[in-house]
Structures are given as C-alpha cells and as structure tokens.
C-alpha cells in the first residue's frame, strides 16, 4: 500500500492524529517519540504557528511485510536502602505479545491482537532452570536491549512462534507519568481494595464500584493490585482497564498546546527502550490512527493449575491446549503464514541458513535431490535423512530458530512448490544440531520429476 499523500496542518493537530493512531497499547509509548522526531527538526514555537508537512511511509514499506509481531514489556523496579528507585536487573511486571495487521484495501483500519502472559507463568529458561517467565528479563544490569532480546526468545518459545519483529520496553513510571501529563483518569475499581506495602511503596485503598479520579500513582497502584483470589490474571484485567481509559482520553481529548506536547515527550524520553526506529514509529502511528480501541482483541494466556518452585514460590502452569488455540488465532497469521514482500525475501542471504532435510515422501533419492538444489543456491546443508514417516503429501518447512528472519520464506521461494508450507515449530523428529530450518520433503516435490522406485532410502 502506497504512503498517504502529504498533508499540512499545525503541530497540535498532528500530535492529536498521532495520539488517535496510537490507540493501541503497544504503541502508547511511541506517540511522544514520534512527535519528538518531528518537533526537534524545527523550532517548536514556529512549528506550532505554522504548518508541518509530514512525509510518512506505509508500514508495509517500513517493515517490508504486511504484519508484524511485537513484544511489549513493562519493567518494575526495586528500592535501595534510601528508598530510591533503581531498575538494574529488574523483572518484567507486564508481558504482552502484540500482533499488528497493517491496514490494506480489504481492512482499511488494520487490526490489533494482544495476548497477555502472566508474569508468574512457569517456564524453563534457556539455561535449563525452571522459573517464572518474568525472570527472562533479569540479570543483565542496565543492558536493556540484551534483557529485551532474552525475553523475546523465551516468550516466543513459550508461545510457539518463531520470533518477534520488534520490542518495546516501558519503565513502570511511563504509565504513571503519562496519566499525570494528561490530567489523570476516571476509574471505577472492580472490587474493594485495602492494602499497604511500605517497602514496595504501594498503598491501595479503593471501594469497589465507586468512581475515582486517579493521578498516575493511584492508577498504577490500582492496576498492580494482585492480593485477591484471582491474583495475576485479575491484575492483568485491571492493567487493561487502565490502559483503555488512558487511550480513550488520549484519543478523545485535544492536547494542542506546547505544554502538553512537551510533557508527553518528556514522559517517553526517559521511560521507553525500543528497537523501533523513528520512521517505523511514525509509520505505525499514521497507519493506525483510526483504530477503534473498543475493538482491540485482548486475551490472556489461561492456566490449568499452580505449583510451588524452590526458587520463587507459587507459579502458574499454562493450559497448553487453550494457549495454542489462542496463539494460532491471534498470532500465527502475523508472523509468516502470509508471505512477506518478494523484495524482503530476496534480501535474505542463503549462506546464513543451515538446513536439515528429511525425506518424507517415501520415494528414493528425493531428500538428496532437494539438498543438491538448495546447496547450489547457496544454502548450508547440515544433513539428509529419512523423516519419521513416509506419509507426507505436501512439503513442510519447519523453522526452529529466530536467528535468521524469513529463513523459511526464503527456502519456500527457492523450492517453488505451491503446496509447500512454512511452519513455526520444529518437527517431532529430532533436528540436526546446528540447523535453523528442517525441510520435510513431501510427494508434491517428488512429483516435479520422474520418481524413482518407492523405498525407504533418503
């Protein structure tokens, strides 16, 4: 989809259009950064008095695909002996996986799916230690990028998706400062709460059903409350409630003066870490400016039971069957079942992809035949053997690494079989060590040439 035609209007209107466009939890933090990237190229007062013609690319152009998966992380902090906040080695207080389907001719406003992962969910970390999933972020000091990439890998593996395209990390003060910057929000608590945690600087006293005008500190305290029978899952619901109210105020109120604009910029300047570029943020903000916040598809990973771990107490054991249904519905279309642009696939270097080939066609020599063809195109072949079954009608490409984006789509383009598919998980048989992708050769590939006699040989 081509970028929208350049339009001219004052910075106040431009900022509000961006705020409306960022009526999505994952992009809430980007609004000020996007505006900042425009404002700092011009005198703010001159900009406010004149017109600003933004030239913004479509997200398809910015990302070279039609959909992306993004990981939103909210990090907590600790207090030192003097009561001062610090966030080194923090854990994630909020984990949300977000699928962004870009607007196109069939869906002009685009769509957004958000899957919350309870921070107390039980996982096995890459080092083999069983722990809560929020521990994946900790242990990296102030290296926020490394911590975020660690969480990306662990959460993607837990959900059964190949990778996230981008991450966005918010310090807990981002929400508090943002709510203060827009003058507070009106919230009706879902239950009566009476709780004090002096060490955690958390004081929560609300009557259920009563309307409160909350400042940032009160709203964050309310959304962090988890000392009821529901615990973390209900805390997630309160987080989503606060987010929706905040987004609605950002979208509906007008913040046209420089005081509000600069306040919002200051909030995000100190509280956001991301690998989204300014150009990508502007593109997303513009593309989703008409998204209906009420229609966001928000879910959370369900759990089947709880148990105690020596390291960290009570954890939630995910309901894997229900989780897989949600992931398939909300995320798999956003990360590769729809082919990315040909230009993006063409940029992938075959020499970076290590391939394990398994013959599942039951026809002698088809694995070796495919290996020879891919090797000629520059792919690194790690091994050729028989699959766990000879009943594969269609060729399957299983991606089991996030190290090389679009690895599966690159091989799909190379073998050029219409019935072949890219799968986001590893096959049931063990994979060859060092491989990024396993290709199970089906009878559809064997049909492209005169077959040899059926046999068990690879």
The per-residue pLDDT string of the chain (458 residues; one tens digit each, 9 = 90 and over) reads 333 333 333 333 344 444 433 334 434 444 434 344 433 443 333 333 333 335 677 888 888 888 889 998 888 655 444 444 544 556 788 899 999 888 887 788 888 888 999 989 999 988 889 999 999 988 776 788 888 999 999 999 999 888 898 888 887 677 788 888 888 999 998 888 888 766 556 778 899 899 999 998 898 888 877 777 676 778 778 887 887 788 777 766 655 444 565 666 666 667 778 888 777 877 887 787 777 767 778 899 998 999 999 988 899 999 998 998 898 888 865 444 444 567 777 878 898 899 999 999 889 899 999 999 999 999 999 999 998 888 888 898 988 766 566 788 889 989 988 788 887 554 444 667 778 899 999 988 877 755 444 444 45
Lookup: tokens for 380: 């690194």
Whether 416 and 399 have beta carbons less than 8 Å apart is answered as no
Q: How many CB atoms lie within 10 A of CB 15?
A: 28
Whether 60 and 68 have beta carbons less than 8 Å apart is answered as no
CATH 3.30.2130.10 for the 59-251+288-334 domain, yes or no: no
Task: Report pTM.
Answer: 0.58
Domain spans in the chain, listed from the N-terminal domain onward = 59-251+288-334, 342-446
- Residue 325 makes CB contacts below 8 A (sequence gap 6+) with none
Q: What is the DSSP string of 291-302?
A: --GGG-EEEE--
* C-alpha torsion sign, points 316, 321, 322, 328: positive
Whether 298 and 240 have beta carbons less than 8 Å apart is answered as yes
Give 256-296 pLDDT, tens digit per residue: 444 565 666 666 667 778 888 777 877 887 787 777 767 77
* Three-state SS at 223: helix
Lookup: tokens for 279: 């150009």
Give 179-216 pLDDT, tens digit per residue: 888 889 999 988 888 887 665 567 788 998 999 999 98
**Pairing of β 193-197 and β 111-116:** unpaired
Q: How many CB atoms lie within 10 A of CB 87?
A: 16
Lookup: tokens for 129: 């230690």
Structure confidence at residue 296 (pLDDT): 77
* Three-state SS at 75: strand
- Residue 319 makes CB contacts below 8 A (sequence gap 6+) with 301, 302, 303, 304
Structure confidence at residue 277 (pLDDT): 78
Q: What CATH architecture is 342-446?
A: 2-Layer Sandwich (3.30)
Give 367-399 pLDDT, tens digit per residue: 999 999 999 999 999 999 998 888 888 898 988
């Amino acid at each position: 989809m081509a970028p929208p035609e350049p339009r001219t209007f004052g910075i106040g209107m431009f900022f509000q259009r961006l705020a409306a466009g960022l009526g999505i939890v994952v992009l809430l933090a980007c609004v000020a950064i996007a505006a900042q990237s425009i404002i700092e190229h011009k005198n703010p007062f001159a900009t406010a008095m004149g017109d600003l013609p933004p030239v913004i690319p479509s997200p398809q152009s910015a990302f070279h695909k039609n959909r992306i998966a993004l990981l939103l992380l909210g990090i907590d902090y600790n207090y030192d002996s003097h009561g001062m906040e610090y966030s080194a080695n923090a854990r994630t207080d909020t984990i949300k996986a977000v699928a962004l389907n870009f607007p196109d001719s069939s869906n002009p406003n685009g769509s957004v799916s958000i899957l919350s992962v309870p921070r107390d969910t039980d996982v096995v970390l890459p080092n083999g230690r069983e722990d809560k999933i929020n521990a994946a972020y900790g242990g990296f000091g102030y290296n926020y990028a490394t911590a975020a990439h660690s969480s990306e890998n662990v959460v993607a593996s837990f959900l059964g998706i190949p990778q996230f395209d981008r991450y966005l990390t918010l310090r807990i003060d981002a929400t508090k400062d943002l709510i203060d910057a827009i003058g507070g929000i009106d919230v009706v608590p879902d239950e009566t709460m009476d709780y004090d945690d002096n060490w955690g600087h958390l004081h929560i006293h609300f009557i259920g059903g009563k309307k409160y005008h909350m400042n940032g500190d009160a709203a964050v305290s309310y959304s962090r409350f988890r000392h009821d029978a529901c615990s973390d899952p209900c805390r997630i619901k309160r987080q989503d409630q606060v987010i929706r109210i905040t987004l609605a105020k950002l979208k509906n109120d007008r913040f046209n003066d420089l005081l509000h604009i600069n306040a919002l910029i200051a909030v995000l300047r100190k509280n956001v870490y991301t690998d989204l570029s300014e150009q990508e943020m502007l593109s997303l903000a513009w593309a989703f400016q008409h998204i209906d916040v009420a229609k966001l598809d928000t879910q959370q990973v369900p759990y089947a039971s709880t148990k105690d771990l020596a390291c960290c107490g009570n954890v939630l054991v995910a309901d894997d069957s229900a989780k897989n249904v949600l992931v398939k519905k909300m995320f798999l279309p956003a990360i590769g079942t729809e082919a990315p642009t040909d230009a993006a696939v063409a940029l992938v270097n075959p020499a970076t992809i290590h391939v394990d080939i398994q013959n599942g066609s039951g026809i002698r020599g088809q694995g070796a035949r495919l290996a020879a063809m891919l090797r000629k195109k520059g792919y690194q072949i790690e091994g050729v053997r028989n699959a766990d079954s000879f009943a594969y009608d269609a060729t399957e490409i299983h991606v089991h690494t996030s190290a090389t984006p679009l690895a599966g789509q690159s091989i799909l383009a190379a073998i050029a079989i219409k019935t072949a598919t890219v799968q986001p998980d590893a096959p049931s048989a063990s994979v060859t060590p060092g491989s990024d992708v396993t290709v199970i050769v089906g009878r559809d590939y064997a049909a492209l040439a005169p077959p040899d006699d059926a046999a068990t040989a690879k």
